[in-house]
Amino acid sequence: MRSVTPLSPPGEDAVCASAQIRGPRSAWANRRELPLAGSATDSIEDMADRRPPAGNLPADLTSFVGRAGEVSQVRRLFSQSRLVTLTGVGGVGKSRLGLRVAQQLSRVFPDGVWLVELSSLQDGSLLPQVIGQALGLVDQAGDPVEALSGFLSRRTLLVVVDNCEHLVPACQQLLTVLLRSAPGLRVLATSRELLRIPGEQVCEVVPLEVPELGGQVSHEALGNYPGVALFARRAVEVRPAFAVTRANADAVARVCGFSEGMPLFLELAAAQLRWLSVEQLAARMEDRFHLLSGRSSAVVARHQSLRAAVEWSFTLCSEAERQVWIRASVFAGRFDLDAAEAVCADAGMRAGEVLDALAGLIDKSVLVSAERDGDLRYWMLDSLRLYGLEQLRAGQDTAEPDLRRRHRDHYLALARRFRADWFGPRQVEWSRRMRADLPELRAALSFSLSAPAEAPLALRLASTLNFFWLGCGAAREGSLWLDRALAASPAPSRDRARALAVHCRIFTLRGLHAEAAAPARECLELARRLGDPALLAEALTGRGMNLMYTGDLAAAIPLLDEGIGLAAALPQIPIALATATLCRSAAALAEGDIALADALSAQCRALCRAAGDRSYLNLVLATSIPPVLMLGDVARATAYGRESLSDSAALGDTLGITATLEVLAWVAGADGDHRRAARLLGAADQQAWVSGGNPFRGVEFGAGHDQCETAARAALGDDRFATEFQAGADLTLGQAIAYAQGGGAATEPERAPAAQRTGVDRPQLTKRELEIAQLIAEGLTNKQIAQSLVISRRTAEGHVENILAKLGLNTRTQLASWILAQRNPDGL
């Protein structure tokens, strides 16, 4: 165990500087640097709360073997720091240990325990987005680091960041910021390298204990070795009748001894028991590996042992299995059979042979497979994938650029199918599919931007994903890729015009109208030159929309009308007409023509419903609400809002959710429920900050927001309005949706205070009770005590209650006075 000097001096929570609280942004702007230091932890039983665990940990961790000492050590380290890093060589079991610790602490953190897997991420600049997505944020606003910090600043949670070693500088920079801005955040990282963040506590993960090669171990004693237990458990999975017996004990001991306790080695070896007896396995391993002598260090030996195990598994594969292992190493994460066949099959290997090879690799524990919602996915552990890449780069198979082109072309074809089919009834299915493939889409975009000759296809892929960026909650990331692709491919082309149109649309929906102006202008100029009617219709709508949002209605309306005329002549692209018509409806509303705005919105709804669309319909429904409210129909406005919110949530469309929360606040205000209106305004403000913008804060809709807020302030008073607004801003996304759909209380009620019992005795307090009493004397609340000691709030409350009862005191103030009176030169 090693540690780095902790942050100094200690900081403290900040308060919002403004009376008009604006959610996490104020906390971020005013927060001082916070220490990483913590305090001692309770036992698992003491820490466990009855609260069901939250987060995204894998459901089944029952295969974990041993490591009880390491689990306890990591928990102790969390009493000294809010950052603990598990280090060790690849394949030693860092990830599984981290998940086990996280599972045991899952009930301690009221806002959950969250896993962020980084093995598929190669671009460190996307780290804030990836962490945000794992936490359920989906996408972040203009500065994703600030948005993520703001989100975390009010929460108490544990984040497990797995496989940091290839992104150490990015992890170091981001985690330093997050830990300083979020006092309730704890981070458990796994990495082959230290992160070297001040305050970092380090637990070196060593191999499982196994019998020493050449030593004599009795059959009974073998059961005491965790490495043997893991091998036996994996062996039973492939051969259910397997057991460690007196007859095979020596062979088992030799197999485990060769492994040097490396879990990955043990699992690869156990997979071979499908075809070999354990005695045959031990003999073959002895032939394969020679005992290393004169090793410079145990760490080097473990690396050599693991590499030998991987190489041995590679030689046991058939030629086709080796080829698929090497070729599949270009996948960043999880892939399906279609993708495997597209990348791995060629003139020398038919698609059917790829499937057979996949099955063989699964049997040998090289590949893992899992099915979810009918979608079967394959993936490789990182150590095995990196070995495959090493073989590929050593010239053992097809050239790497050729395989990456196959990979890119497959996902480009997928993106084209997605775009063509999006405006229809399969949007939820497509949304789920494209989210699952996001690591591969990122890899395809990165490869296409790696060389000038490939850059035009980066532009094509980034623009073809327009509905994913716009409709599946990835607007901020879409802007990032479009920026890069447009810069890398500046030549005029249809792909550039489409990319400019998508970029303009994303900026507009995020409320970034000044940023949308330049791509809108260039797109229209290029579209007129190219003479493509579909492209021109999109460009006219985009430029008209931008002019409308920046207040130039006189220039906007002719462009929008021209766009509607062109789009109406494109019946095979109904979304083009729906988009143009909806923008014209918003312009009519800005002109004051309420009846026309309502009629045009109705046309849009009809187009979407006829196509079976839900994604664009959500925006149409939200945009339909202002004219309906002006016509006095609160019931219809409420129905539109709830339908929009439900479908936006199903698709993960955070911009759609934000827009609907905003206009439902207006509906509540129009109905006289100003308390509800204030809370929904707060929820919309918070989600706009997290998701990337609010489409209903533009020129033509801004008056609706201002009128709603003004009426709520007049009805509630400024102080009450600020309280209700903050209550809405404090809601999670799920809570905000439930509240907007008609739920009652917007926040959990405060827990009842601890019972204030009296007593006649003042017995000695335990060490833990003295520690808590001192924290009370320092002014910490129960919640802050729980955060400091990594215990549940209920546990902290129980301790406080017991302390007061033991001492016969009634208030925390009395307890603080007692503590001060008891102090002596040696301290308590």
Provide the pLDDT for residue 294: 35
56-70 core/surface letters (b: 16 or more CB in 10 A; e: else): ebeeeeeebbbbeeb
Provide the pLDDT for residue 139: 59
Q: Are 49 and 82 in contact, with CB atoms under 8 Å apart?
A: no
Cross-strand pairs, 55: 113
Provide the pLDDT for residue 693: 64
- CA torsion angle 113 118 120 123 (round to 10): 130
Distance between alpha carbon 549 and the CA centroid of its chain, in Å? 32
The tokens for 405 are 């082109």
535-565 core/surface letters (b: 16 or more CB in 10 A; e: else): bbbbbbbbbbbbbbbbeebeebbebbebbbe
- CA within 13 Å, CB half, 507: 24
Query: Residue 478 to residues 386, 472, 516, 533: CA-CA distances in angstroms?
Result: 28, 11, 14, 25
Residue of 23, 122, 204 lying closest to 446 (CA atoms): 122
The tokens for 778 are 């320092």
Distance between alpha carbon 103 and the CA centroid of its chain, in Å? 18
Please state, in angstroms and rounded to a whole number, the distance separating the CA atoms of residues 135 and 579: 32
Provide the pLDDT for residue 375: 87
Q: Are 479 and 499 in contact, with CB atoms under 8 Å apart?
A: no
Local mean pLDDT, 10-residue blocks, the chain (828 residues): 30 26 30 41 35 64 73 89 90 90 87 92 91 76 79 91 93 95 95 90 90 78 89 91 92 88 87 90 73 41 67 87 95 95 92 92 87 87 87 84 96 96 90 92 96 95 94 86 96 95 90 91 96 93 92 94 93 86 91 93 93 88 91 93 88 83 94 95 85 61 82 94 92 88 50 29 66 79 76 76 74 69 42
